[in-house]
Structure 1
Amino acid sequence: MKGQMDYYAINALREKHAGWALLRAQNAPLALHFFMSAFTDPNQRNVGRQQLIDVLDDVLFGVRETYGEEKFPRNASEYLDDWAASERAWLRKYYVQGEDEPHYDLTPAAEDVVRWVESLKGREFVATQSRLTSIFAVLKTLVQQSETDPDVRLAELQQQRDQIDAEMHRIREGDLKVMTAPEALDHFQQLTTLAKDLLSDFREVEQNFRKLDRQVREQIATWDGSQGELLDSIFANQQDIGSSLQGRTFQGFWDYLMSPQLRRELNDLLHRATRIEALARMDNLHTITNLHQDWLPAVEQTQATVRQLSQQMRRLLDDKVFLENKRIMQLIRSIEANALDQRDQPPSNFAMEIEASSVDVALPFERPLYEPGSRVMVMDDVVTADDQDLDASALFSQFHVDRERLKSNIESVLEEENQATLADITAAHPLSQGLAEIVAYYQLAAESDWASINPETTQRLHWTLEDGSVRAAVIDQIIFVRPA
């Protein structure tokens, strides 16, 4: 946990923090207007360079139309390169695999400034009741789930059940309490704010992962020990990334989001929220139904960042091994060159001469003890086989599992659902080739970036043989997600 900030820490932020530099910049209004138009208002990330240039041209056109061409004389591409430079660090410039055009994203520091500036305009309606409710809910979860006394836990659960029974009794008696319009508006505003804050947090999550990985890559670049010690340190740091506080909370969010039951419950709650009469006049009411769909691409991008960082570490290790092998080859070539120079004029102080370039050394105790071989009784009676009684059907009963057919089965199910388990897919397209087909599905899931294998949960698959008997297999739960 970070301690309280003092004068020196605040002064260091003033001199070095990218967000503070953005507030002090002369063109800060232009930059913030552009960041809102290109990133935060449409709630998008990974924007291509040309698309950003078009948005910035529109912003510059509107400003110059009021203040003249001299207000911001440079073109859009120059401003974009300036804001993405290392001394600014307001935009992160990177390349997506398979594309030549650079992509850009807001840095967490710039996004914090955008959120702070947006808060300065004030709010017509301030959510207070929903925040208090959220505080109580989080506090109760924290205290109750941390309690180690079984009697206290049982007493709290009994109290909750009594409250639920009392509420059910009031509803049966006709005393149905419905949330008022101000209360509904209060909770809706709190919901949209939390959802937007959650999406903005993914930028900082990626930055924290990159910061952890940068430390590992610096260690590789400056390592002067043995290769085994380096690998041991790399694997330990890679484990630290996954077991860090940031990694554990992110993995917990991913597991929660990938739960089919929780996703169905969330989707049902979001659609029911759009039918609340007190919120019928809200302009952005139906946008909340896409909240979970906006989270999936953001989470997938964060996971792709972690995979990319692992690939970079592997590449750095390969480069280091290549340089070491190159140095070894240089030493070997130097020895061979010196040997050729001394071939015609050998030195006079020879200790010994050998015919070969190496000596085979075999110690006596390396030889195994004598073991007598076992006698094998061989029947020498020859029996002529009858070809008519030979069953050759096994030679022609082989079959091939068509992976393309399995992919089309997965795609047909995902056309209707955002995600589906392997049990859902086999229910729609029954297994026809038994265990071999299950193995092929498993291989497709392991090779896909849009599938996950959960070893903590199992699922049971069934198929029917030609003789009518039913076979079953219990495997790890496989979840396929529709690509964003």
Structure 2
Amino acid sequence: MDFYAINSLRENHAGWSLLRAQNAPLALAFFMAAFTGPNQRNLGRQELIDVLDDVLFGLRDSEGENRFPRPAGEYLDDWAADERKWLRKYYPQGEDEPHYDLTAAAEDVVRWVESLRGRDFVATQSRLTSIFAVLKQLVQQSETDPEVRLAELQRQRDGIDAEMQRIRDGNIRVMTGPEALDHLQQLTALAKDLLADFREVEQNFRRLDRQVREQIATWDGTQGELLQSIFDNQQDISSSLQGRTFQGFWDYLMSPQLRTELQDLLQRATRIEALARADGLHAVANLHQDWLPAVEQTQATVRQLSQQMRRLLDDKVFLENKRIMQLIRSIESGALGTREAPPSGAFLEIDAPSVDVVLPFERPLYEPSRKVLVDDTIKTADDADVDAAALFNQFFVDKERLKANIDAVLAEADQATLAEITLAYPLSQGLAEVVAYYQLATESDWATINPGQSQHLSWRLPDGTIREAAIEQIIFGRPA
């Protein structure tokens, strides 16, 4: 970056303006107390006013009543204004109370100010270990020579065998106290960095969506070209670096097996004797619970992109239809006016009328209809000979049974894919049952259809043959 780029950031960046603000200490103290400290997002206006009132009460009690004279609500409106952009103010769907969230720029400033306090213990060994681990994975997973990769795997297996033998011999190496604190500090720092990244990812998605909406609002081409442009932009959002990395993290976090393993590791980490007196140890066990709300909000933002573009497109179609009706009305009004005062000369040219000539011999001769004799004798049959069950054995997919299958699987896990549900409860009605599951997923607020992933389903027909289908991945979640 050169001088001009840095000067542009100084004049325009929201984080830099926060550092230069006169009431920056008040704003940062409030942001830490309301958002970063308890790790909360999307708070209502009244809840934030209560927190800010508590902060102002303590400051006025020590600094004087005239130190911060404005009400708490005015400070919130000022910090969420377009010239500040320290807070994002918005209205959730179906609510009339505004909500606030910390912007990515403001959170960067909060984290930077927190780092200025210094640390009594600086993690170095764990970072070096992480660098080696990431570097090894980068090099090994990028190697294309099979012999090199097999040799590396053999070396790793030899090392594991040697370590297992040392444990059998009673030579067990346990991580020391400083090493455990080193790794704990790095784990906490990485978890906070990940939570901070979610706000920036969500902000990038919103910026991409804003560009698409601006393009729709100023479009002058045809409807087909507009649709092509919208689909291309939607594909750009999904295939961007932000979209691919976030989708990969979402798939990883939504795996029941990986989530169970992560939760077990966190619980075991809290029981390490060397970390018994470490600060913030209780927060380590809830790392995955802190991630889920943040990831779900970012995922909801991605889902809203398509809905917003659809609404904007519907508005444009409505305006075009309105314009067409206006043109039709103008043509009708002009025709009525011309009827009263027709112009002189030729007004309209049409083709001359003509008569279709049909020769007599082209007509077919008369052919009398044939009489069909029907035997209408009705025979009375005994009730015992009539099978009335055929009237009731109609093809029907019981959705309540499918919902019960989903609930039974979700009773053991927080979420499950359709493939996992059909594995526990095999398909008995074939493709019609798959369509019913699709309908349940579209009607549920706790189900997600991921077109980027596919899953394979199979079922057996009455004659013993196996049918398979590859469909989009459907994930059912347990309602909160």
Amino acid at match of 2:331: I
Does the alignment pair 1:39 with 2:35?
A: yes
Aligned residue for 1:221? 217
Aligned residue for 2:333? 337
- 302, 305, 312: which one aligns with 2:308: 312
Aligned residue for 1:367? none
Helix, strand or coil for the counterpart of 2:90? strand
Measured after TM superposition, the shift of residue 244 of structure 1 is 0.6
Aligned residue for 1:286? 282
Cα 1:232–1:441 change in 2 (3 A) is closer
Cα 1:456–1:345 change in 2 (3 A) is closer
Distance 1:390 1:405 in 2: 31
Cα 1:460–1:133 change in 2 (3 A) is farther
Does the alignment pair 1:211 with 2:207?
A: yes
Does the alignment pair 1:155 with 2:151?
A: yes
Aligned residue for 1:24? 20
State the Cα deviation string for residues 398-431 of structure 1 (Å, max 9, x = none): 4765545654654465455322445766788x67
Aligned residue for 1:374? none
- Conserved? CA contact 1:423–1:461, under 8 Å: no
- Conserved? CA contact 2:409–2:421, under 8 Å: yes
Aligned residue for 1:53? 49
Amino acid at match of 1:196: K
| Number of residues of Structure 1 aligned to a counterpart in Structure 2 | 457
More displaced stretch, 63-72 vs 314-323? 314-323
Identity %, equivalent residues? 75
State the Cα deviation string for residues 370-425 of structure 1 (Å, max 9, x = none): xxxxxxxx997758677554433121134765545654654465455322445766
More displaced stretch, 326-335 vs 122-131? 326-335
State the Cα deviation string for residues 290-331 of structure 1 (Å, max 9, x = none): 222222221121111112122111111111122222222112
Distance 1:431 1:148 in 2: 41
Cα 1:297–1:406 change in 2 (3 A) is farther
More displaced stretch, 14-23 vs 273-282? 273-282
Cα 1:445–1:50 change in 2 (3 A) is same
Measured after TM superposition, the shift of residue 472 of structure 1 is 8.3
Measured after TM superposition, the shift of residue 447 of structure 1 is 3.4
Cα 1:387–1:203 change in 2 (3 A) is farther
Amino acid at match of 2:157: R
User: Aligned-residue CA RMSD in angstroms?
Assistant: 3.1
Distance 1:309 1:25 in 2: 34
- 275, 297, 302: which one aligns with 1:301: 297
Does the alignment pair 1:245 with 2:241?
A: yes
Distance 1:445 1:360 in 2: 60
Cα 1:421–1:311 change in 2 (3 A) is closer
- Conserved? CA contact 2:410–2:478, under 8 Å: yes
Q: What is the TM-score when the length of structure 2 is the normalising length?
A: 0.86
Cα 1:432–1:152 change in 2 (3 A) is closer
Helix, strand or coil for the counterpart of 2:216? helix
Cα 1:345–1:351 change in 2 (3 A) is closer
Amino acid at match of 2:178: P
Aligned residue for 2:96? 100
- Conserved? CA contact 1:401–1:433, under 8 Å: no
Aligned residue for 2:66? 70
Cα 1:359–1:235 change in 2 (3 A) is farther
- Conserved? CA contact 1:46–1:103, under 8 Å: yes
Measured after TM superposition, the shift of residue 278 of structure 1 is 1.2
Distance 2:372 2:262 in 1: 73
Does the alignment pair 1:267 with 2:267?
A: no
Cα 1:351–1:133 change in 2 (3 A) is same
Distance 1:392 1:347 in 2: 77
- Conserved? CA contact 1:57–1:76, under 8 Å: yes
Measured after TM superposition, the shift of residue 140 of structure 1 is 0.9
- Conserved? CA contact 1:53–1:76, under 8 Å: yes
Distance 1:33 1:23 in 2: 13
Cα 1:61–1:238 change in 2 (3 A) is same
More displaced stretch, 436-445 vs 309-318? 436-445
Cα 1:474–1:192 change in 2 (3 A) is farther
